[in-house]
Structure formats: C-alpha cells, structure tokens
Amino acid sequence: MTKLDVSLTEDLKAFLEQQAAAGGYRSAAAYVEDVLRQLWKHNARGALEAKVMEGIHSGPPIEVTPDFWVGLKTRVHQRAARVRP
C-alpha cells in the first residue's frame, strides 16, 4: 500500500472525521479509502453500462439460435487457426 498526504481545511478535516466516526470506520483514512473504492466501482459500472448501451444501439438485433453459436464457434476456430504460427 502507498501513502498519500492531503492538505485539508479545518472544516473539511472535521467533516471527514465526523463521517468516519458516524460510519464506524477505524480512521479517517479508512473512510477515504472506502469512499474512493466505491467511486471506482461506480465509475466502472458506468463504463460497463455505456458499453452495453453502445451494443444495444450498434445495429439491428439478430436472432441467437443454436445455429448461430455453431457458426460463431466455427469462425472463432478459423480465425485462431490463421493467427497461430
């Protein structure tokens, strides 16, 4: 783990300590770490949702049948065979 020093106003420091205590965190640093981790997950979820929406709007839908999967598997194997030395 790495250390990061941050300068805060007294008001922000008091707010941070209050939030950490109210949330049952062992320290203000543990609270900040958890908040950042939640933000990271939120952003990752947003990126995933954007990719899903991109796929939804990428063109007309196709019917996925057993034949579709057979064809896809065949194309993947063919492409992999061309890539292998």
Q: Can you give the pLDDT at residue 63?
A: 93
Which tens digits make up the pLDDT trace of 3-39?
999 999 999 999 999 999 999 999 999 999 999 999 9
Q: Is the pLDDT of residue 85 over 90?
A: no
Nearest one of 6, 71, 69 to 36, comparing CA atoms: 6
Q: Which residue has the tokens 């783990």?
A: 1
Q: How far apart are CA 74 and CA 48, in angstroms?
A: 28
Handedness of CA 32, 37, 38, 43 (dihedral sign): positive
